[in-house]
A and B are shown apart, each in its own frame.
Chain A
């Protein structure tokens, strides 16, 4: 019963936050200098055409009326027309979002599968060489901006060693499988087009790596400090005194309590990567929503900016929500005693 109450409270919070975000973005977007209608129609349009378009976009209505149309549009799935591509923003977004999603999932996998074990090893063998190496890697990961990593990785692997491709999701002659999820790697496995899978994997490695290094470093450091803390605890000493083997101690007694804070951070990082994807998508010409968002910003594409920010914010908020719930479930302190 407590869990349900917690769930509802968090959900309610999330909705309030999203509404707040939408208002914030909406207001910012309407303050811009420049006439979005004129920008959409181009320099050769006459004044009357611009006025007609302004009416169509409801730009001459009072602001709360505009907001109402905005919300109505979202609920119908119509996010307006992009000034730049002259197409429905919904179409653009549904095309570009899966690309970013695929990138983030892959980067998160790297973060978890490399970062966490690295942290565990560092914590377990504290002050030994592996600890120092791991700490160095983590540190470098955290302090270097992802675009610098992207440039370095590109120089080394795509140019000098020439073993990985330079840009894009697929080689130009490879055709993406028909869309099921939009994630090329998954779709191509489902459809049995394994050559496409390999090609897609080759293309995703460098950008995912560049994107993950910062979060990887963070995850590793956090895991390391949690592990060292746990290993200092008395029940570990007890287990050792009882003669349990090291591996059992590591997995059964040390890992579980150490993972809880780590999970929180991992979840937050997964969502945060969405924000950082901008830089990596730029360098690797990855056709994702972040690159689309930055273009929208550079071109003052009103509808695209609003839509992109809303989608990213929604994703962020709900991922945080899910992470909170998972953590609440796993942490017996919260699960058994009610809301924190």
Chain B
């Protein structure tokens, strides 16, 4: 009988809910697992998508790019030569629990982030001397020295509901257990269900402080690890809305052919063959340059072509992609030239049997295999003994923590984690950041370090541009990577969905890629 009554209740609740949710349907998208829902632990793409929708930061990028503008902070003052920044918070912003967002929450969120020392804490570690609450709507950051990327880094500092987390704390875990299945943010959406391996469900917060359109989806289902044929079929059956970028190129083309559309977003980042510069034979710059000239770039470009109009890539001139400070047309493009390659190989101190390299590609991203094979073909043509291997992401990110186990060459995509070039290249090339998946090059060069440090502490805009342009050239000369392409992501989308952040990213998009998946800026018909 109880079961029966529960059913009636469920029926009533569902019908009431559906009456109230007349406009805006359900948005379904997918990404590679896992989805981390804790803002102090998030690092990856799926995590970023959840963060950008469920939580807010003090500042954000404006649509179409540009210097950061206030979000949870109304405005701010910089003093003491850039080492003190005081934020005035927006008033009357509420968390999904109903609690007001105040300076206490900001302070708690920061302490939580730095205490757990995971996620994006590295952006602030060592730069921020302290944070203090001035009054209920004013917070002050004190820095050790001027730090140019600071404001951009704040886009990754998400504010959590301190009262809810403190109330649900278990064994002083800073509320980590609670956040395994719930959210505690101010965002346009709140988590209703979360399984990091299966799916995350989010529901619209109609009282979002920045306002939210009726046509924005009422519910969002972010699924993990969907198979390509599944996504393909679901999209054509109108059961799935946006695919991930990891769909094979030809499947995207097939989707475009059958009546749905593709959205192309030029992202701030790139695809690289990261070369372990500490491992023979590629510790010699000439051996690396030889490979750079032996790479058939036209074949590579051929793999990007999705349809006649859309290519999922463009030739890169260096680590800094087009559109970011530091990019310059003056850096020459490396061309496929086997003679030049052999020249460089001749100057290399290794030869013959020593020329053994392994090319690693990540198992979860099948189109990387084509690139690995293209490089292999080129390498073997000039005399290398090149083998191709595939590794799952988790194993790869473990292997790169030590130079001896880091592969000779690995294919990785790196994206700027903040809207600042520092957010892209610091983690790749600074000696202090070595040993992560972003820095499989193990570059430990004083000149490069100096340039990166200068980039961080120089506040003047023009000077910074010059520093980064020099940096770009220096890296190209050193060749710690083979540059495959600027990071262009292509998503297959159902025709009925409107997402200007994805479809017209130049005008409406964000350089922090995950933010382009702000659900409240999308329109999903019922």
A residues sitting closer than 8 Å to B (CB atoms) are 34-35, 38-39, 41-46, 49, 83-87, 92, 154, 158-159, 166-167, 171-173, 190-193, 283, 285, 287, 292, 295, 298-301
Contact = CB atoms under 8 A, between A and B. Distances in A.
A42 B28 contact: no
A43 B435 contact: yes
Interface of B: 3-4, 7, 26, 28, 34, 36, 43, 117-119, 121-122, 180, 196-198, 221, 225-227, 229-230, 233-234, 239, 363, 392, 394-395, 397-398, 400-401, 435-437
B436 A39 contact: no
Contact of B7 (A49, A84, A166, A192): A192
A42 B118 contact: yes
Per CB-CB distance, the 9 closest pairs between chain A and chain B, nearest first, are A299-B394, A43-B436, A167-B230, A298-B392, A166-B233, A39-B398, A85-B197, A43-B397, A166-B230
A24 to B, nearest CB: 23
Contacts of A192: 3-4, 7
21 contacts: A38-B401, A42-B43, A43-B397, A43-B437, A44-B117, A44-B119, A49-B117, A84-B34, A158-B233, A167-B227, A171-B239, A172-B239, A173-B26, A190-B3, A192-B3, A192-B4, A192-B7, A193-B7, A283-B227, A285-B227, A295-B197
B140 to A, nearest CB: 27
B28 A172 contact: yes
A41 B41 CA distance: 10
Given A43-B401, A285-B227, A85 B118 contact: no
Given A42-B43, A85-B196, A86-B196, A285 B230 contact: yes
Contacts of A298: 363, 392, 394-395
Contacts of B196: 85-87
Nearest to A159: B233
A193 B7 CA distance: 9
Contacts of A299: 392, 394-395
Contact of B436 (A44, A84, A154, A158): A44
B394 A84 contact: yes
A300 B226 CA distance: 21
Nearest to B226: A285
A159 B108 CA distance: 52
Contacts of B395: 34, 298-300
Given A172-B28, A191-B3, A299-B394, A44 B233 contact: no
Nearest to B3: A191
Contacts of B36: 86
A35 B394 CA distance: 12
A287 B435 contact: no
Nearest to B439: A43
A93 to B, nearest CB: 12
A49 B398 CA distance: 15
A287 B437 contact: no
A45 B226 contact: no
B122 A39 contact: no
Given A85-B197, A172-B28, A299-B392, A34 B398 contact: yes
Given A49-B117, A192-B7, A44 B398 contact: no
B118 A45 contact: yes
Given A44-B119, A190-B3, 16 more contacts: A43-B398, A43-B436, A43-B437, A49-B117, A84-B394, A85-B34, A86-B180, A87-B196, A166-B229, A191-B3, A193-B7, A285-B227, A298-B363, A298-B394, A299-B394, A300-B394
Contacts of B435: 43
Contact of A44 (B26, B122, B180, B392): B122
Given A85-B34, A172-B221, A39 B394 contact: yes
B10 to A, nearest CB: 9
A140 B321 CA distance: 54
Contacts of B197: 84-85, 92, 292, 295
A151 to B, nearest CB: 9
Contact of B43 (A35, A44, A295, A301): A44
B180 A287 contact: no
Max chain A C-beta neighbours (<10 A), residue from B7, B180, B196, B229: B229
Given A85-B197, A158-B233, A192-B7, A46 B392 contact: no
Given A166-B230, A191-B3, A285-B230, A46 B117 contact: yes
A190 B6 CA distance: 13
Nearest to A33: B405
A31 B418 CA distance: 40
B3 to A, nearest CB: 6
B230 A35 contact: no
Contact of B118 (A44, A190, A295, A301): A44
Contacts of B230: 166-167, 285
A159 B228 CA distance: 13
A193 B394 CA distance: 41
A190 B196 CA distance: 29
B212 to A, nearest CB: 23
B194 to A, nearest CB: 11
A39 B393 CA distance: 11
B399 to A, nearest CB: 8
Nearest to B26: A173
A189 B395 CA distance: 43
A288 B394 CA distance: 21
A45 B43 CA distance: 13
Contacts of A166: 229-230, 233-234
Contacts of A42: 43, 118, 397
Nearest to B14: A175
Nearest to B233: A166
Contacts of A167: 226-227, 230
B198 A287 contact: yes
B271 to A, nearest CB: 19
Contacts of B34: 84-86
Nearest to A41: B118
A83 B394 contact: yes
A237 B426 CA distance: 88
Contact of B398 (A38, A193, A287): A38
B259 to A, nearest CB: 16
A77 to B, nearest CB: 18
A92 B197 CA distance: 10
A191 B5 CA distance: 11
A192 B8 CA distance: 12
A299 B434 CA distance: 23
Contacts of A39: 394, 397-398
Contacts of B363: 298
B8 to A, nearest CB: 11
B291 to A, nearest CB: 26
Max chain B C-beta neighbours (<10 A), residue from A38, A42, A86, A172: A42
A159 B395 CA distance: 35
Contacts of A41: 118
A302 to B, nearest CB: 12
A202 to B, nearest CB: 14
